[in-house]
Amino acid sequence: MLDYARQRASEALGSPRTVVLITSGPAGVQASEFPCETMDLELYLLVPQTSDHLFNLEHESTVILLTVQCEIKGTARILSRSKVDRELDLLREWEAAWCALVQVEISQVQIRSERGWGNRETIDL
């Protein structure tokens, strides 16, 4: 059953090039769009080093991400580039030099309804 849920979540997520990251913490609620890359059921984002999102993530790792198709809940962590063991195209982007790399481990994917409001399906991982 877990394999089916992971497969379905991966299909629903697709390969977004950007996501809206929502964090909360000492800097208040923050919502900004950032470039991203998916690998398996993990999302990697480039977040500017001066962003209040990073300050929030130091205190609260729970995040929400929005794409056109999905609302995603997960746990984020700021990665040291020397600890990244994957080849990410994201790190070749021109803005990568002054951005932190944030990894989000996905715990829930809510697939948005194509018509009307609300979600049509929720997948817990």
Q: For 86-109, how does the pLDDT look when each residue is reduced to its tens digit (9 = 90+)?
A: 788 888 888 888 999 999 999 999
CATH number of the domain enclosing 119: 2.30.110.10
Query: What domain range includes position 83?
Result: 2-124
Whether pLDDT at 14 is above 70? yes
Q: Find all residues with CB under 8 Å of 125, minimum gap 6, and list them.
A: 2, 5, 6, 9, 41, 106, 107, 108, 109
81-112 b/e (C-beta count within 10 Å ≥ 16 → b)? eeeeeeebebbeeeeeeebbbbbbebeebbbb
47-90: pLDDT as tens digits: 999 999 999 999 999 999 999 889 999 999 999 876 676 788 88
Domain count, the chain: 1
Given this model, what pLDDT does residue 69 score?
Answer: 86
Does the pLDDT at position 19 exceed 60? yes
Q: What mean pLDDT comes out for the span 7-35?
A: 92
